[in-house]
Amino acid sequence: MAKRATRGKYHGFVVVEKPAGVTSHDVVGAVRRMTGERRVGHAGTLDPAAVGVLPIAVGLATRTVEYLSESSKSYLAEVTFGVATDSLDGDGTLTDVADASRLTEADVRAALAAFRGDILQVPPMHSAIKIDGRPLYERARQGEHIELDARNVTIHELELTSWKEGVAELFIHCSKGTYVRSLARDLGEALSLPAYMSNLVRTSTGPFSLEDSWRLEELEELIANGYWEDIAAHPDAALWNRPAVVLSHDLASQWRNGSELELDVPESLVRVYDSLGTWIGVGRGLPERHVLKPEKVVTE
């Protein structure tokens, strides 16, 4: 078990069950107020209407939140056929209506096959992607439309979990960068019907699931009563699927000075610890040079 950093009161990841109607930034602000910690961030934005798993990085965990953001994510999404909106979800303005009564469960199941694996996907205009320094959603609200390039994403799993009168519930396990709203739009197009994402629950991000999450009011009470160590995951949890490297006392001293180390380690990101089990950062193995290169050195 890796030891926690000793400097600073709050370090680690807490998982919030984000409610509908608040932004991911709002949740960051709430946790910042609860902890009094300036260094707070989140892993993977959820739209205001969406709910579910939102990992919040506090203190030293902000050093590794970028790696958690790269993790795959899982969702339960509701797709309604016969209706389209400009934002591709329920917050947008109605743009199209059609009779979806002909659509069957078998039709939807058959169409899903084309969306599994590596696919190309065009992001929605109503998104936080920045072009020329401005988020697309700002441009969309001003009536602008920009032709966006398709992006490579991976749908690891895509299953129909329920079907009722033109509304499909889907389980989706996908790579970073996947827009479920775009998936709903594209599935509708494949079935020659307008469609939009009518509900979204994120069920997991990397190693964190709904079972690990806390409502904001629960989290506030737990932190106020001193239970941080019981509810927070260590900052190294962002690299849960990466190899660990343990350094001797001398090598750990060199590491803390930012030096490359002559070591044969895997060609990947690795979690780095000293001989006492204290987490001291993140490195990258360069086997062709027989070197461990520091990416994040933790000295706190």
Which of 185, 183, 201 has the alpha carbon at shortest distance from 193? 185
What type of residue sits at position 119?
I
Cα separation, 135 vs 127, in Å, equals: 7
User: Is 47 labeled as catalytic in the residue annotation?
Assistant: yes
Active-site choice (47, 86, 186, 274): 47
Q: Report the catalytic residues.
A: 47
